[in-house]
Amino acid sequence: MAHIIVADDDMHIRELIGVYLRSEGFEVTEAEDGAAALSLIKNVQADLVILDVMMPEMDGWDLCRLLRAMYPDLPLLMISAKGEPAHKVKGFRLGTDDYVTKPFDSLELVMRVKALLKRYRITSTQTIHLGMLQLNKQAYKVTRGDESFTLPLKEFELLYKLASYPGQILTRNQLIEQIWGYGYDGDDRTVDVHIKRLRDRFAGDACQFQIETVRGLGYRLEVRG
């Protein structure tokens, strides 16, 4: 079963989350602040991290940023009493996969954890299905029925990344860092150009999936049907 690290300086919240997750069969390790969580992750195999925003030593903003840079495919779920849209935007821009506002419903939190782990397992298989389309990352090929074809490398990686997290907002910065690399110094609008090419290329498959623009944030892929 998946191993989850819960980082929160409030012992009671850690225990509450731990009780619900363990009741679902998850293994849970608790950390009292961001620095402790970072140390744990370097020594244990974590499948998902739940992190509070306001913590001593290292807050959730810095922890999220570091974890996303060090472990690009590690699911992150941020919890916070800060529920303003600006704070949620900041969390997504730093790389969290989901953002839950306190006070939260524990059962809903468990369902969000399961949804994130499901997405992670999809990415680990190296094959993603979008209706009749199949993306094979091992071969970097796209299959539609009996037809198999290749895409330009960055287009494939961009589509695969978006399809790995259906319904999840991925910011331009996230996409640049994870696909073009941290050393990329070009125009971040290159993401927009590649998105347009993908939309044009798969216009006939619009009934199966759609790449949506989320103004001020980035993009998300929605699967239909």
Question: pTM of the prediction?
Answer: 0.61
Q: Where does the pLDDT of residue 123 fall: very low under 50, low under 70, confident under 90, or very high at 90 and above?
A: low
For the chain, helix, strand, coil in percent to 5 are 45, 25, 35
* Per-residue model confidence (pLDDT) at position 203: 87
- The answer, yes or no, to whether residue 74 has pLDDT greater than 80, is yes
Cα-Cα-Cα-Cα dihedral sign, residues 108, 113, 115, 116: positive
Q: Which residue in 162, 153, 149, 164 sits closest to 210, CA to CA?
A: 162
Average pLDDT over residues 202-211: 82
Q: Which residue in 139, 121, 128, 110 sits closest to 6, CA to CA?
A: 110
Q: What is the pLDDT of residues 102-119, one digit of tens each?
A: 888 988 999 999 988 887
Structure tokens at 205: 């498959």
Question: Is it true that domain 3-122 has CATH number 3.40.50.2300?
Answer: yes
Cα-Cα-Cα-Cα dihedral sign, residues 127, 128, 133, 139: negative
Q: Which residue in 36, 55, 37, 33 sits closest to 46, CA to CA?
A: 37
DSSP codes, 14-76? HHHHHHHHHHTT-EEEEESSHHHHHHHHTTS--SEEEEESS-SSS-HHHHHHHHHHH-TTS-E
Q: Where does the pLDDT of residue 122 fall: very low under 50, low under 70, confident under 90, or very high at 90 and above?
A: low
- The answer, yes or no, to whether residue 22 has pLDDT greater than 90, is yes
Q: What is the pLDDT of residues 178-191, one digit of tens each?
A: 888 767 777 768 99
* Per-residue model confidence (pLDDT) at position 182: 67
Task: Output the average pLDDT for the chain.
Answer: 87
Domain 126-223 CATH (choose: 1.10.260.40, 3.40.50.300, 3.40.800.20, 1.10.10.10): 1.10.10.10
Same topology, domains 3-122 and 126-223? Answer is no
Tokens 């079963």 identify what position? 1
* Per-residue model confidence (pLDDT) at position 118: 82
Q: Where does the pLDDT of residue 125 fall: very low under 50, low under 70, confident under 90, or very high at 90 and above?
A: low
- The answer, yes or no, to whether residue 63 has pLDDT greater than 90, is yes
Residues in the chain: 225
The structural domains of the chain, with segments of one domain joined by +, span: 3-122, 126-223
Structure tokens at 91: 């969390």
